[in-house]
Amino acid sequence: MKMWEGRFQKELDQAINSFNSSIGFDARMFREDIQGSIAHATMLCAVGVLNEADKEKIIESLQGILTDLESGELAFDPLAEDIHMFIEAELTRRIGDAGKRLHTARSRNDQVAVDLRLYLKKELAAITGQVEELIQVICKKAGEHVETVMPGYTHLQRAQPITFGHHLMAYAHMLVRDRGRLRDCLRRMDQNPLGSGALAGTTYPIDRELTTKLLGFSAPMANSLDGVSDRDYCLELMGALSIMMTHLSRFSEEIILWCSWEFKFIELDDSFATGSSIMPQKKNPDIAELVRGKTGRVYGDLMSLLTAMKSLPLAYNKDMQEDKEAVFDAVDTAGLCLSAFTPMLDTITVNKANMRAAAAKGFINATDCADYLVKRGMPFRDAYKITGQLVAQCIAENTILEALPLEAYQAKSALFQEDVYGAIGLENCVMERTSYGGPSPESVRMQIGLVKAELYESSNKV
């Protein structure tokens, strides 16, 4: 029996019932649906719409339904239209007419809106915690490698010397911004739509401030049409998750490169790699590859809901049922990726020698050679040209800048002296890059401190 079937002369076609039903995916919100219903019943009694005896029956029974669902004693009815109808039907089965009074001054439109916000608030807090855990792991690894010299890249070509710690902290700062976006999303999500009714509120003397307090929201939504039709918080959350997944995907791509034989900068722990069914020598970075692949899935979830919402008139439309599968999948996927990526990164082995050897090739100290001349009065463009000629000479002679004799330098400019070798030494090149945000050990330690302070300070803000 459908709660709404009084208007209809025929039963809903069974195939169409399955098409229309959302119980298969919105059942995960059963705790939030019961939480919202308890708050609604409490409020109805407080304003005199529901008597004390019915309120007590309703709340006691709802708590019993919650216990039975969590224990598995009560199973979800696959024929139910949605989680709201299932719980209301079970409540009415248990306590009769008192259960039928619960839906007074409420619509499924505001009911699902409050359920989804409550559910996503909880999930968002969990994902934010996972992001913080990853940031802490990155900071720890970066602290261990503030002096581990490696080549920095542009266009995937060796460019300038940096440290592994400096490289890692770039991702830490990306994730700090991701965390900020998630926290901003939570702030805007934290409004109570319950009491919006189907779209126009209600004639009953409800107390929306009370349900807001009971449900832990910061404020009631100020417009009832917006209360039932808004899914900005879903889109914003999926947008924030999509950006975060972009960062995880870029990081994954570098891990995939770094653990290849062509780089061999790192090695993955055996617990976070797989083998080949035919090639016994293989150690595949499947976890990183899956994170990279699942990024597209989260993008797809965002695009799916953006497309569904783009031309909907106010207020609620059944199209909006598509919100839950998309946002649930995005949240699940992002959380799963974080749970795999963090321990994978935490357990990598860093090959400092290979990083240093790669940094020694590719003339990544050429800029420092040009800067040496500039600091002695030569215009940068002239210094740039001379250094380029020296690099060309090294290539022709199959050598490196550090190995060129002083005579070769002085043949290009009398400004070159013996101390040029100190200026172009890789460790010195890194140590001298003390500009704010740069790769010097001191700078990287400062970056780690800034990130840790940001985590601590914002976590303790009321």
- Respond yes or no: is residue 173 known to be catalytic: no
Quote the CA–CA distance of 356 and 264 in Å, as a whole number: 11
Q: Which of 215, 189, 183 is nearest to 460 (CA)?
A: 183
- Respond yes or no: is residue 155 known to be catalytic: yes
Check: CB of residue 234 under 8 Å from CB of residue 323: yes
Q: Give the other-Cβ count within 10 Å of 79's Cβ.
A: 11
32's CB contacts (< 8 A; 6+ apart) are 114, 115, 116, 118, 119, 122
Catalytic residue among 155, 271, 311, 435, which? 155
Burial 243-258 (b: 16+ CB within 10 A, else e): ebbebbbebbebbbbb
CA 311 → CA 314, 366, 370, 373, distances in Å? 10, 55, 58, 62
Q: Which of 23, 169, 175 is nearest to 84 (CA)?
A: 23
Check: CB of residue 84 under 8 Å from CB of residue 125: no
Question: Strand locations in 12-89, DSSP E?
Answer: none
Q: Which of 419, 376, 449 is nearest to 176 (CA)?
A: 449
Catalytic residue among 18, 260, 276, 458, which? 276
The encoded tokens of residue 356 equal 């240093």
Half-sphere exposure of 93 (CA within 13 A, CB side): 11
Q: Give the active site residues.
A: 155, 276
